[in-house]
């Protein structure tokens, strides 16, 4: 296999927290934990930066979403067990952790400039749950200048919602791959990064001549 370079890639690990890891998801996705452990190991060994996104709301309700206020409860309230990260997804020293109060990781205003400062071009997205925070974050990435892919076997959701979300967006705004497919995807994705840079340079050159 050709030598792989993952320098332009980052993993966004989304909301791997107790409130989102329900009994139903544990039943439907029994390999999620082990797959995520192996994904993190692969990223850390390959030089893919791991960034942890977590949904955390204040006990005083000042940052709750309107629907949470109306129903009188919110997931992941700071200080509760539900807001805590699952043991297998705890960050390692030096890994960035960003909190959010929406289902879209890019609503944390630190994320986008941070990724740009690190010259990241391609984002892998995994976590909980597929059709909500994972998809919202991955599709937002695709709309603010990044190539992105959902790591499908490192996500979980109601089974039908999981399958539908991946089918809906694959090839439209993002790619989809399993954790085991990542090494084989490196050359394809690296070529996409190269081609995108060329196209962007051509657009910039045309604009300068206009």
Q: What is the mean pLDDT of residues 107-123?
A: 97
User: So what's the pLDDT on residue 139?
Assistant: 98
Residue 1 has pLDDT above 90, yes or no: no
| Structural domains in the chain, sorted by start | 9-181 (3.40.50.850)
Q: Which residues contact 186 (CB under 8 A, 6 or more apart)?
A: 4, 5, 6
CB neighbour burial string for 40-67, b if at least 16 within 10 angstroms, e if fewer: bebbeebebbbbbbbbbbeeeeeebeee
Q: What is the mean pLDDT of residues 104-130?
A: 98
Q: What is the mean pLDDT of residues 67-96?
A: 98
Q: What is the mean pLDDT of residues 140-149?
A: 97
User: So what's the pLDDT on residue 135?
Assistant: 98
Residue 88 has pLDDT above 90, yes or no: yes
Residue 210 has pLDDT above 70, yes or no: no
Query: DSSP per residue over 4-46, as a string?
Result: ---TTEEEEEE--BGGG--HHHHHH-TTHHHHHHHHHHHHHHH
Cα separations in angstroms, 49 against 9, 17, 30, 77, 144: 7, 20, 26, 27, 19
User: So what's the pLDDT on residue 3?
Assistant: 78
**pLDDT tens digits, residue range 6-57?**
999 999 999 999 999 999 999 999 999 999 999 999 999 999 999 999 999 9
| Both structure tokens of 10 | 């980052």
User: So what's the pLDDT on residue 205?
Assistant: 84
**pLDDT tens digits, residue range 150-209?**
999 999 999 999 999 999 999 999 999 999 999 999 999 999 999 999 998 888 887 777
Q: pLDDT band at 123, cuts 50/70/90?
A: very high
Residue 138 has pLDDT above 80, yes or no: yes
Query: DSSP per residue over the chain, as a string?
Result: ------TTEEEEEE--BGGG--HHHHHH-TTHHHHHHHHHHHHHHHTPEEEEEEE-B-TT-TT--HHHHHHT--SSBTTSGGGSBPGGGPPPTT-EEEEESSS-GGGSTTHHHHHHHTT--EEEEEEE-IIIIIHHHHHHHHHTT-EEEEEEEEEE--HHHHHHHHHHHBTTTBEEE-GGGHHHHHHHHHHHHHHHHHHHHHHHHHHHH-
């Amino acid at each position: 296999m050709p030598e792989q370079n993952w320098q332009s890639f980052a993993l966004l690990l989304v909301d791997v927290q107790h409130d989102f890891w329900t009994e139903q998801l544990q039943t439907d996705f029994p390999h999620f934990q082990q797959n995520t452990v192996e994904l993190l190991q692969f990223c850390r060994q390959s030089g893919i930066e791991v960034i942890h996104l977590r949904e955390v709301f204040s006990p005083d309700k000042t940052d709750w979403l309107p629907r949470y206020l109306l129903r009188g409860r919110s997931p992941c309230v700071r200080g509760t067990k539900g807001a805590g990260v699952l043991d297998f997804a705890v960050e390692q020293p030096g890994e960035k952790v960003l909190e959010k109060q929406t289902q879209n990781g890019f609503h944390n205003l630190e994320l986008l400039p941070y990724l740009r400062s690190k010259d990241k071009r391609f984002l892998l997205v995994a976590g909980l749950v597929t059709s909500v925070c994972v998809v919202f974050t991955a599709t937002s990435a695709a709309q603010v200048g990044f190539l992105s892919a959902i790591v499908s076997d490192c996500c979980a959701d109601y089974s039908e919602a999981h399958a539908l979300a991946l089918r809906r967006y694959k090839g439209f705004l993002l790619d989809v791959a399993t954790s085991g497919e990542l090494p084989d995807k490196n050359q394809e994705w690296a070529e996409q990064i190269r081609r995108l840079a060329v196209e962007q340079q051509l657009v910039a050159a045309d604009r300068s001549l206009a």
